[in-house]
Chains A and B, each alone.
Chain A
C-alpha cells in the first residue's frame, strides 16, 4: 500500500475557509503556496517507525463551532479536573472544536500588553506580529508533507505574546477540546516571550473518539527572545481514533531559557518531535517528556536540542512505559554546532516494558561539531525488576499496587517538572488510567 497522495481538500475549499475567517491576505497566499507544496513534498520519516500506512488523509476538516460556556462548571468532569477546584486560572482559553468557548485574561496582563487569544482573532487584530513568527524561523512550511498540509489547513490554535520586561507568575493555560469525534484538529500555537520577559504556558489536548478515525496535526512554535524564560507544559490526550503528528519547536536567543515538560498521553498512533534551537550565547533548554503506550499503539518521539550559541546548556530527559503490545521509540538528539564552544549537552532516555509483547527502543544520538564542549548520554530499555517487586510485595502491596508504585516512580522525574500543580495531578491521573 502506498501513501495516499490525493489531498482531501482543494484550493477552492481553502479560499472559502480563509475568507470565512477574515484572514489577512498574506495568510491566504501562504495557505495556497503550502497546498501546492503539500502535493509534492514527502511524508516525514521518523527514525525506526514506518508511518506510511497511518491515517493522515481520512478526516473531517470543516470549521466547527462548539457551544460557549459561561462557567467552568459547564465543562465535563474530566476537563474540570485540569483545574484546582477553587482556583480557576485567571488566564485561560478553552477551544471547543474550532471555536473559543471560554476566554479570560487578567486585567493586569491586558494592561501590560499581553496578548493571549485564539489564532484567528490574533490574525485579525495582530496580523503583523503573527506574520513575523508564523512558520518562518521555527517550523518551515516545506519541512515535509504534513507541515505543508498544516499550513494549508490549520483550523485552530492560540497566540500568546508577552511584551518586553513583563514577568508573569501565574500560568497561562489553553485547553483544546475536540468534542466532535470526527473532527480533525490542525492546530497552530505561537508563544512569544519578548526580551527580559517570563511566562509559564500549559496546553492540554483532549478528545474522546475511540471508534471514529481522525487526525491531529499540531504545530507549536515557541520563541524566547534575549533573556526571556519560558516554562512550557503540555498534556496530550487524544483518544485512540486520532492519528497525531505533533511538532513542537523552540528557539532561544541570547541567555534565554525554554524548558519543556510534555505529557505525551495519546492513545492513538503518534509521531511527535520536540526540537529546540539554542541560537543565542548562554541559552538553555530542558526537554522533559513522558509517555505511556498501550494496546497496539505505535509512537515515535524525538527530542532534539540543537546548540548553536556559545556556552549553551541542553538537557533531554525522556521516560516511557509500555504495556500490552504497544511500540515506542525514543530518539534523543543532542547537537552542538561548529562554534558552539563551552556547550554542554546531556540526555537520558529510559523505557520500561510491562509486557512481553511491548516493543521499545531508546536511541541516544550525539552530533558534535565542536571540540571545546561537554556531552553525555544514557539510554535503557528494561523490564520491572523482580527484586523491587519482591521488596514492595513483602510489605503487603499487591502485584498491581507494587507495579503501580514502580511505574509512577519511574515517571516521577518528568512528571514533577510540570509547571502547574493541577495539571501535574491531572497527568498523574491520566497515567493511572493508562497503566491500570
Chain B
C-alpha cells in the first residue's frame, strides 16, 4: 500500500457553540510530513482534536475523509483502527493499567480477533522502542501516564506511535515542555516512522521542532483558517520574522474572536 490520504475540506468546528475553525482545507498523503504553525488560539489543537473525534468538539460544516471514507461518521475507536493516530498534548492518566498491558491491547485492537501479537514479539519490539526513545524499562510496568513527568508523557505518546504504527499521525505540540535533549530523542522516534506509507501532521508553536524533523509542507493557521502554505523555508521565515508580516500581507487584523488555545 502506498499510504493513506487524509482530506480535510472546509472544516468548521465549534466548542460550546463558539466557532473556532472556520473552513480549514488540508490534504495529507502517505510519505508526507506537514507542519501546522500559528500563534496561540488560532485553532491548531482544535483541528487535531476534531480529526480524532474529541467529544467536546462539534463539526458544524465540511468533511474529513480517510481514503475516501467519511471519518466524521466513525466513532473515535473506528478512526484509530482506520489508521489515524493523535499524539495528545495532555494525555489522560489511567490508574491501575500498566503501559505495556495498554500497548498490547492497542496493538491487538488493530489486528484480527484471535490473531493477537505474540508475546515474545511484543516484548522484543517494545524493548527496541524503549531503547530508541531512551525510556527506562520500568515505564512499561508503570500505570499509564500516572505520575509521569511532562517529558515522560511526550515520550510515551511517541512510544505508542511507534508501537501502533498508524497510517496518518497527528502530533499535537509534541515539542512543548521538552528540553533540547528530549526534543532530539522524540524527533528520532518520529523520524523512524518516515516511509511512503506514513503521513504526519505536526502542530507546533515553534520552528525548533522542524530543525529535527524536516517538513515537506508548512501551513500557517490564523483565526481558524489555513492562511498560508509553503515549504520548509516558510517555517524559517516565521522563526526569523514572526507572524506580523503574514498579517500585513494578507490584511488580517486581530479580532476579539481570537480565543485562547484549547486543550
Contacts and interface: CB of A to CB of B under 8 A. Distances in A.
B109 A394 contact: no
Give the interface residue-count category, chain A.
Answer: 20 to 34
A401 interface: yes
A390 B55 contact: yes
B77 A406 contact: no
- The secondary-structure label for the interface of chain A is helix
B164 A411 contact: no
Contacts of A406: 94, 97
Contacts, number: 81
Interface in B96-139: 96-97, 101-102, 105-106, 109-110
B160 A393 contact: no
B102 A398 contact: no
Contacts of B86: 394
Residue with the highest number of chain B CB atoms closer than 10 Å, among A387, A395, A408, A409 = A395
B203 interface: no
Contact of B109 (A390, A395, A408, A409): A395
A385 interface: yes
B92 A397 contact: no
B228 interface: no
Interface string A85-116: 00000000000000000000000000000000
A80 interface: no
B195 interface: no
B94 A409 contact: yes
A230 B81 CA distance: 48
Given A398-B109, A409-B143, A391 B75 contact: no
Contacts of B79: 394
B52 interface: yes
B161 to A, nearest CB: 10
B158 interface: no
A388 B94 contact: yes
A390 B106 contact: no
A399 interface: yes
Interface of B: 52-55, 75-77, 79-81, 85-86, 88, 91-92, 94-97, 101-102, 105-106, 109-110, 143, 160, 164
Given A406-B97, A413-B95, 8 more contacts: A387-B55, A387-B92, A390-B54, A392-B92, A394-B53, A394-B77, A394-B88, A395-B106
Instruction: Give 10 nearest A-B pairs by CB, closest first.
Output: A409-B96, A412-B96, A396-B109, A396-B80, A395-B106, A409-B97, A391-B92, A393-B76, A393-B77, A388-B92
29 contacts: A388-B92, A390-B54, A390-B55, A390-B92, A391-B88, A391-B91, A392-B102, A393-B75, A393-B77, A393-B80, A394-B53, A394-B76, A394-B79, A394-B80, A394-B88, A395-B85, A395-B106, A397-B105, A397-B106, A398-B77, A402-B77, A405-B94, A406-B94, A406-B97, A408-B96, A409-B96, A410-B95, A410-B96, A412-B97
